[in-house]
Every structure is written in structure tokens, then in C-alpha cells.
Structure 1
Amino acid sequence: MSFTENMKKSFNATADHLLGNLKSGEEANINLSAEESLFVRFNGNKVRQNTHVEQRTVGLLLQKDGKTANLSFSITGNIEEDKKRADFWLAQARQECDLLPEDPYQVPLKNNGTSDSTFQGDLLPDEKVIEAITHPAQGSDLAGLYCGGTFDHGE
């Protein structure tokens, strides 16, 4: 399963779990920001830094009793672990709402459904990136940064 497929499956399960555990009088907005990226820094036509980043962050906005808590937390891609994290952070958001004063300017959440768009780019496989950049630059003092990968955002 690809990163995007795994991440969407995990996020959807986590979001469904959060929404299913809301109490009467609570509303939530749940967002996703995720990436699986390769970063390579070059200097003197040599690799000076090579880093792979994989992260998934869920944004949770909870409205309760005229109060709003807004927080974010990481998910792992393991659905059962992610549900436990969601339970913990939902409890934290509820506690935060209990401590906040009522917001007279709060705009109630409206269910506009979900949004998800995917654009499949055509990137080189990670193992071919370095050769594709350094080979044409042989004999030169190439310096620069390569950054490429999958970025996902959804609601």
C-alpha cells in the first residue's frame, strides 16, 4: 500500500472515530496535513545531507458551549494507535474548552462535507535522484537543494 493510500485510510478511520465520539453540543472540524519527502543538499556536486521525512498531522477544532479549542497531533498510520491518540487529544480539547471564556464572536461550524484532491506527479524514484542530479553536473561546483515527494491535505 502506498503512503497516500495508507495515510488516507488511517486519517479517515481517525476522523470517523473522533466524530463518532462527540458528545451532544459538540461540533468538530478535522483536517489532515501529511508528507513523505526526500530532501538532499548538495555542495561541490556531492551530497552533504540526505534526509527522508514522513509525517501525518491531524488538526482538530472543537466547539463546545460557545468555546473553541484548536489543536493538532501526529498520527502513525496504525489505526488502533491513532484512535488512542485521537481519544487523548479530544479529551484535551474538551478540557481546554472548559477553561476558556465563552466567545461571543464564535462562528458555528457548518457541515460542508469533505474535500480531497490528489494529483499524481511524475517524480523520479528516490534511489535515482542523486545520480540524475550529480551526473550531468560532473566537473562543476554544483550547490543546491532537492526536495520532492508526496504532500497531502484534506478535510
Structure 2
Amino acid sequence: MFSLFLLLPHLGTLPGAGEAEQHGSGLWTPGQQKQVWEELSRLRRQVNALPGFRDYLVPLRIDGDTGRLYLQADGREIEVTEQNVQQILEDFRLQAQRAGQKRLTFLLIADYSKPHPDQRDEARFRRWFAGTRFEYIPPPRY
């Protein structure tokens, strides 16, 4: 997740570190290498502890006029239907696994100030996403 290049400017400012020194060959000393690896491990532990970094998030748009569900892919919108929802779920499970994320989460985002999603839409989405983590973000009720 984090690149060692992000750590380069901070080598001299790590706790207990003196001024960053270079070997005559331009390589880091064994002590510097150990320090960078320890810092990288610490950052990985912090990132893995954050809930948002454990999720592979997939936003889906709910059309407020029709209640249809859409996925943005390759610059176009694909309608999620009863026929293709299982394939979409499986594709994103594989993508999340390849990305090393711990869980797949779909975000169902509603258009604001529209009649949909209604209760039937919500029931359909619960059926489609049964066994898969999803968060329904309802439109605000004024």
C-alpha cells in the first residue's frame, strides 16, 4: 500500500534517527534499511486496523425515478438486473481478493429528492445482496 518513496523524506526524522547518512556507494546502511522496514511494518499495522482500508468498496447508483440499480464500469453505466447480479458479485469478489482487501462492500447510493428507492426496491436489493455486505444510503427525508 505504501511506497518506500513516501518514507524517503522522513528517514532523517524517524524517532531515534540521526541525520540520514549515505554509504559511499549510495546505498542505505543496514541500520537504515532495518529502520525503514520497521516503519513500513508499523504503517501496515495501522492501515489494517482502519475499517475503511479493509473494505473493497463498490458504489452502485440507484436511479431515483425508476429504482433501477447501475454500476459504473469502463466509463459507461451497466444496469444491475436479476440476470447479471450474481456474475457482478462474483467478479467483484475476485477483484477484492486480488487487491488483498478483507471484505467486499457495495454502497447503494440513492438519488436525492426522488420517489425511489421504495420498499419494494429495498427488498429486491436485500435479496440480491444476501450474504454480501452492502450499505444502503437512503435519500434524506425532509
- What is the TM-score when the length of structure 2 is the normalising length? 0.23
Q: Which has the larger radius of gyration?
A: 2
Greater RCO, 1 or 2 (C-alpha within 8 Å, sep 6+): 1
**TM-score, normalized by length of structure 1?**
0.22
Q: Which has the higher strand share?
A: 1
